[in-house]
Amino acid sequence: MIHRALRHPSFVVGLAITLMVLLIAILAVFWTPHDPTAIRISARLRPPSATNWLGTDQFGRDVFSMLILGARNALLVGIVAVGIGLSIGVALGMVAATGEGSLLDEGIMRVCDFTFAFPAVLTAILILTFLGPGLVNAIIAIGIFNIPVFARIARGAALQVMARDYIRAARAAGRSTPGILARHVLPNITGILIVQASVQFALAILAEAGLSYLGIGTQPPNPSWGRMLNDSQTFLAQAPTLALFPGAAIALAVLGFNMLGDGLRDVLDPKSLER
Amino acid sequence: MIAFLARRLVTLLTTLAVAALVIFGVTEVLPGDPAAVMLGLTATPETVAALRAELGLDAPMLVRFLAWIGGFFTGNLGVSYAYRVPVAGLIAERLQVTAPLALLASLFASSIGITLGALAASRANSAVDSLLMAGAQVGLAIPNFWFGILMVLVFAIGLGWFPAGGFPGWESGLLDGLQALFLPALALALPQAAVLARLTRTAVLEALGEDFVRTARAKGLTAAQTLRRHVLRNAMVPVVTMMALQFSFLVTGTIIIENVFALPGLGRLIFQSVGGHDLVTVKSLVMIYVGCVMVVNAIVDMTYGLIDPRLRFGRGVGR
């Protein structure tokens, strides 16, 4: 499988981009070329140079330093928001699957259908306005919308696995339902969950960028790609590069996770390659 | 058949009712007395009480809920706290921007997406195909608001072909209005076009493998004729479904794009009313957005059930 994966162009490129973003984010924890919050009005709106590789913003802050800290921010959002969706969603989905057709199953799936019908960005805006703007609340708002996605996928996949003979054998051998779920069902649906997690990760980064662009996501002085884009719009004519880099960073990170997801889908499920 | 439609309709109405309850309930429990917000810090308790009575805020909750629901049918949705004008009028006015914007965007998305997708499929596994699909992958990754900003940079600030933002109003001419909506619609259309291009390619490739394609070629049609008359038509079912299902993304996309281009549409209105705690406007707007999405999804499910009877029993399309 690893051999097949390494020959899959989408997987390799996606993995390379994702690893690069991850390394930059880790690097940003320990080192940035300049203090990304240091304001130097005398050096405002400078074009890219040897000291400020990507130039400076309207407060004279170093754009490159803000950009790599933004990577940390984006990954944090992705990890926590997808984590919320995965942990709660998969648990709900597997519980629903074990009681297929029961009132509990119906209840869980109806609530999922209902959440799906609410446009995510709109609801996130509402949640954020009333919980108050900020990174933590943005992550919660994005995470909530990941729950029904994973619940549905986990339920569907778990139902398929539970129809197999080895589940009946395990049951006959006296294993409890939680034991079967943990030992036999979960490992067999991990692949499909990983693929979806990769796609949701990309969507979470896009969502946080959008919310921060609107000014209700990450708050200053914490750098966020979306907020940098919003700031850049005021100085578009004077300093066009300010609008280029944060957007390119978002696009690159999202591209990486999307390609990784596409690649993983092909590698983990070779049947989809035949199309 | 009738039973299927009736069942789907009941589900839709139930979901709409629950949504209305949730939206109403949330705006009820939110902190801040609208009357006090309107009058400001210097208001005396007596004037606040008088305004509460005037706004109908002291009626029982159930009465106010039913009055609000009734308002969607009578057109009386109350008066906006922030703008001091009837909410229904405000929405109708803003819809003149958002509806053409969404329409133009779906037009761009479908024409670009379907054309490029069909082109990629007809040259499957060629350099053109790889290039187009790589482009679609990138189109999916680019945030539409950044694409909007980039287009402003190039076409508004650089070349001066389009305004950088704002809307002159339809009374200053159809052309001026369309010119103001062109870049926002294109920005909104980008991710949708990418999704449609990928889907069209898959659907066309699948249709190309069918027997009727061989028959069409055997009876003397050219490859282009076969593609147009037989393949595309068969490939359109999933594509049209996807367009309808993406309606939700398009609609919410207007919230951010209208902010990028400072367009006085529904999306900007909702953002501003949320920020200004204009709850009367917020709850009706959210209900309209959510209602539109739910109705469109239900219509997709129903038409799909009409086309393919097998789908009348499961959980519906795209689940």
Q: Give domain status of residue A220, yes or no.
A: yes
Question: What does the pLDDT read at residue A90?
Answer: 95
Instruction: Choose among B146, B259, B297: nearest Cβ to A247.
Output: B146
Question: What does the pLDDT read at residue A273?
Answer: 47
Q: Give domain status of residue A58, yes or no.
A: yes
* Alpha-carbon A166 to chain mean position: 34
Question: What does the pLDDT read at residue B137?
Answer: 92
Domain count, chain A: 1
Q: Give domain status of residue A116, yes or no.
A: yes
Q: What percent of chain B has pLDDT over 90?
A: 27
Q: How far apart are CA B246 and CA B251, in angstroms?
A: 9
Question: What does the pLDDT read at residue B311?
Answer: 60
What's the DSSP call for residue A28? H
Higher-confidence position of B258 and B244:
B258
Walking along chain A (275 residues) 10 residues at a time, the average pLDDT comes out as 79 93 90 81 79 79 88 92 95 90 87 81 82 88 92 91 88 87 88 91 93 88 88 85 91 94 82 47
Q: Give domain status of residue A185, yes or no.
A: yes
Question: What does the pLDDT read at residue B318?
Answer: 38
Q: Give domain status of residue A107, yes or no.
A: yes
Question: What does the pLDDT read at residue A49?
Answer: 81
Read off the pLDDT of residues B18-50 as tens digits, 9 standing for 90 and up. Answer: 999 988 888 887 766 667 767 777 778 888 788
Let me know: does A144 contact A115? Beta carbons within 8 Å.
Answer: yes
Question: What does the pLDDT read at residue B146?
Answer: 94
User: Among all residues of chain B, which has the CA nearest to that of A201?
Assistant: B141
Question: What does the pLDDT read at residue A59?
Answer: 81
- Decide if B252 and A254 are in contact by the 8 Å CB cutoff: no
Q: Give domain status of residue A14, yes or no.
A: no
Q: Give domain status of residue A112, yes or no.
A: yes
Question: What does the pLDDT read at residue A207?
Answer: 92
Q: Give the pTM.
A: 0.86
Instruction: Choose among B149, B256, B274: nearest Cβ to A126.
Output: B274
Task: Write out the DSSP string of A74-89.
Answer: HHHHHHHHHHHHHHHH
Q: How far apart are CA B70 and CA B64, in angstroms?
A: 10
Which structural domain range is residue A167 located in?
A: 22-37+52-227
Mind telling me how many Å the CA of B262 is from chain A's nearest CA?
Answer: 12
Helix (H) or strand (E) run with residue B55 in it: helix B45-55
- Decide if B319 and A130 are in contact by the 8 Å CB cutoff: no
Q: What is the ipTM of this complex?
A: 0.86
**For the domain that residue A80 is a member of, what is the CATH number?**
1.10.3720.10
At B185, the pLDDT band (50, 70, 90 cuts) reads very high
Any alpha helices (H) in chain A, and if so which ranges? 2-6, 9-30, 63-98, 103-117, 120-131, 135-162, 165-172, 177-180, 186-213, 225-234, 241-268
At B105, the pLDDT band (50, 70, 90 cuts) reads very high
Q: Give domain status of residue A8, yes or no.
A: no
Highest mean pLDDT among A30-39, B24-33, B167-176, B179-188: B179-188
User: Among all residues of chain A, which has the CA nearest to that of B19?
Assistant: A114
Does B213 score more than 50 pLDDT? Answer: yes
